[in-house]
Every structure is written in structure tokens, then in C-alpha cells.
């Protein structure tokens, strides 16, 4: 009996070691900006890295050169794609887009994700993105990309959807908690992300969310600022700050600030000591 227990202990120990050694991917959460692009580019293996760009959250997108493109339309797509290649310093890029969950749930649609090294999710409307991809094979392939050590970056809505909860709103309206449409991709468990925090006067929106869902931790991101997440640790980069909403009273209110270079454990949901 003791021998069997010893074998069981060794087996479990081996599984734990394998789990600890398992390579996980890297995530970028940002409100947008050149600094975030530079961080993303620094993670790539060069111009031949297989990158997928998902513009589904946007009704239209404008490149740095002023090219306006509406996802799903051919007009200006070639010019916009050319601008994407310049933006991310790539030789080729795959644009993946649909508004149809049935299409998003097919092997053909998700083939590019299975072959991808990295994904960038655009700004726009987080609810629009989740309406297309929640519960589909696309959602599963994004998780699998991280599991095999890939990279997922997202700006604005592309940061929001990486969390467990999808927050929507703007400075002129109350926070939107749309019943039945609140789930994000869940790439970050028990986390709700709110970009453009100070510029759009959204500091109190996550307070409302955490009051209603105390199991969540809120992350608010200033403009030209972001988090680089690797091995469960998020490090702040950029020109602004990141606010952490933990449902506890702090000097600044129901949240505390992290400056560039400071870190947060997204698994244990607490600041990493310096």
C-alpha cells in the first residue's frame, strides 16, 4: 500500500513540474499608442512572424497615414493592409474578420489562428467583437494560441475582451452592463479591463462593476499606456498609469495606481513587491 502511495505521489509531483514548466504565451493590454506597437514588435521573431489582425470590434479603422477602411469591405483594404505591414514591420499579415458566429465557428475560418504566432485585436466596440466570437472555435483557438506560447495584443476594445468581463460605456453615459452580453474571452480570469481611464473620465466605472461583481478585479489603463503580461505577471509600460480596483479602500479611493515599471500578479490578483 505504501509503495502504491509513493508511486501516486511521484506521478502527481511529475504532473506539477510539467505544469510549472509549461510554456504560456504573452499578452498586451493597452489603450493604444506607439509604445504598445513597439512592445508588440519587440516580441515578434522578425518580419516573417505569422501575425493575424482581427478588426471585428471596429465599424471603421484609420491608419496613421489616414487610410480609412471598413472591415468586410474591399474598398481601401489593400491600402490599409499595406499600412498594417508598415505599422508592425512585417512582410505579410492575415486579416481575420466576420460578424457571423457560424462562420467564426468553422475550421476554415480559424485556420489562420492555428498557424499564427501572434494576434492583434483592434479597437472599436467590445460587445460587437464578443457577439461574433463568444462560444465559437475562434475563441478556443485564441486560448490555444496562448497555451502554445503565442502572443495576443489588443488595444482599447481589444484589451477589454481579453478579460472575463466585458465593460462598455463612455464619459457621457453611465457604464453599460448588458445582461447576457457581459462575458469576455476570459484569457484573464476574474479580471475586467477598462481602457482610456483618465482621458475619458472613466475612473468610477469599474467601481460600479466591482460593487456588483466583487469576485472581479478591475484594471483601468490610461492612454499611451499598457500592461505586458508574461508568466502571470503584468508590468506597466508607457506614459501614464494603471489603476487596480480590488474592492478595498485606498488613499486614492476604491483603487490604487501602478506606475510604469511596477508589476501586478494577474493570477494571485495582487501587486508584486518591489
For the residues 66-81, what does the mean pLDDT come to?
96
Alpha-helical runs (H) found in the chain: 2-21, 34-43, 77-88, 101-104, 107-114, 126-133, 137-147, 157-160, 205-212
Q: Are 239 and 225 in contact (CB under 8 A)?
A: yes
Task: Report how far residue 84's alpha carbon sits from residue 124's, in angstroms, rounded to the nearest whole number.
Answer: 17
In a domain, 8, yes or no: no
Cα R_g (the chain), whole angstroms = 19
Q: Which of 208, 253, 76, 230 shows the shortest CA–CA distance to 151?
A: 230
Class of residue 101 by CB neighbours under 10 A (exposed 0-12, middle 13-18, buried 19+): middle
pLDDT at 199: 86
In a domain, 17, yes or no: no
Task: Report how far residue 168's alpha carbon sits from residue 59's, in angstroms, rounded to the nearest whole number.
Answer: 16
Measure the CA angle with vertex 84, ends 93 and 193; round to 5°. 95
Lowest mean pLDDT among 4-8, 93-97, 113-117, 180-184: 4-8
Cell triple for residue 58?
A: 471596429
Q: Are 28 and 40 in contact (CB under 8 A)?
A: yes
Reply yes or no on whether the pLDDT at 193 is more than 50. yes
3-class DSSP assignment, residue 83:
helix
Place of cell 518591489: 274
Return the half-sphere exposure (C-beta side, CA atoms, 13 A cut-off) of residue 128.
18
pLDDT at 178: 54
In a domain, 6, yes or no: no
Range of the domain at 106: 24-271
Q: Please report, rounded to a whole number, the percentage of residues in the chain having pLDDT higher than 90.
A: 75
Q: Provide the mean pLDDT of the chain.
A: 88
In a domain, 10, yes or no: no
For the residues 106-124, what does the mean pLDDT come to?
97
Q: What is this structure's pTM? A: 0.88
Reply yes or no on whether the pLDDT at 206 is more than 90. no
Task: Report how far residue 152's alpha carbon sits from residue 154's, in angstroms, rounded to the nearest whole number.
Answer: 7
In a domain, 233, yes or no: yes
Instruction: Please report which confidence band the pLDDT of residue 12 belongs to, taking 50, 70 and 90 as the band edges.
Output: very low
In a domain, 67, yes or no: yes
| CB atoms inside a 10 Å sphere around CB 24 | 14
For the residues 195-217, what does the mean pLDDT come to?
87
* Residue partners of 134: CB distance under 8 A and separation at least 6: 101, 183, 185
- How many domains does the structure of the chain reveal? 1
In a domain, 2, yes or no: no
3-class DSSP assignment, residue 100:
coil
Task: Report how far residue 28's alpha carbon sits from residue 36's, in angstroms, rounded to the nearest whole number.
Answer: 8
CATH of the domain at 174: 3.40.50.880
In a domain, 241, yes or no: yes
Amino acid at each position: 500500500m505504501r509503495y502504491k502511495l509513493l508511486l501516486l505521489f511521484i506521478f502527481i509531483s511529475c504532473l506539477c513540474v510539467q505544469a510549472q514548466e509549461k510554456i504560456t504565451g504573452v499578452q498586451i493590454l493597452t489603450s493604444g499608442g506607439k509604445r504598445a506597437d513597439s512592445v508588440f514588435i519587440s516580441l515578434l521573431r522578425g518580419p516573417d512572424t505569422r501575425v493575424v489582425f482581427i478588426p471585428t470590434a471596429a465599424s471603421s479603422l484609420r491608419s496613421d497615414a489616414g487610410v480609412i477602411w471598413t472591415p468586410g469591405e474591399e474598398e481601401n483594404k489593400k491600402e490599409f493592409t499595406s499600412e498594417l505591414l508598415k505599422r508592425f514591420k512585417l512582410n505579410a499579415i492575415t486579416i481575420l474578420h466576420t460578424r457571423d458566429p457560424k462562420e467564426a465557428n468553422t475550421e476554415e475560418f480559424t485556420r489562420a489562428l492555428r498557424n499564427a504566432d501572434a494576434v492583434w485585436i483592434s479597437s472599436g466596440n467590445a460587445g460587437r467583437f464578443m457577439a461574433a466570437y463568444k462560444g465559437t472555435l475562434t475563441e478556443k483557438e485564441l486560448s490555444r494560441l496562448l497555451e502554445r506560447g503565442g502572443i495576443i495584443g489588443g488595444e482599447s476594445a481589444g484589451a477589454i475582451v481579453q478579460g472575463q468581463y466585458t465593460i462598455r460605456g463612455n464619459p457621457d453615459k453611465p457604464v453599460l452592463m448588458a445582461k447576457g452580453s457581459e462575458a469576455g474571452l476570459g484569457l484573464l480570469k476574474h479580471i475586467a479591463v477598462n481602457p482610456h481611464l483618465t482621458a475619458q473620465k472613466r475612473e468610477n466605472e469599474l467601481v460600479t462593476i466591482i460593487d456588483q461583481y466583487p469576485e472581479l478585479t478591475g484594471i483601468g489603463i490610461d492612454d499611451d499606456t499598457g500592461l505586458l503580461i508574461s508568466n502571470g505577471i503584468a508590468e506597466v509600460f508607457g506614459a501614464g498609469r494603471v489603476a487596480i480596483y480590488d474592492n478595498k479602500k485606498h488613499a486614492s479611493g476604491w483603487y490604487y495606481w501602478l506606475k510604469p515599471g511596477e508589476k501586478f500578479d494577474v493570477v494571485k490578483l495582487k501587486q508584486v513587491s518591489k
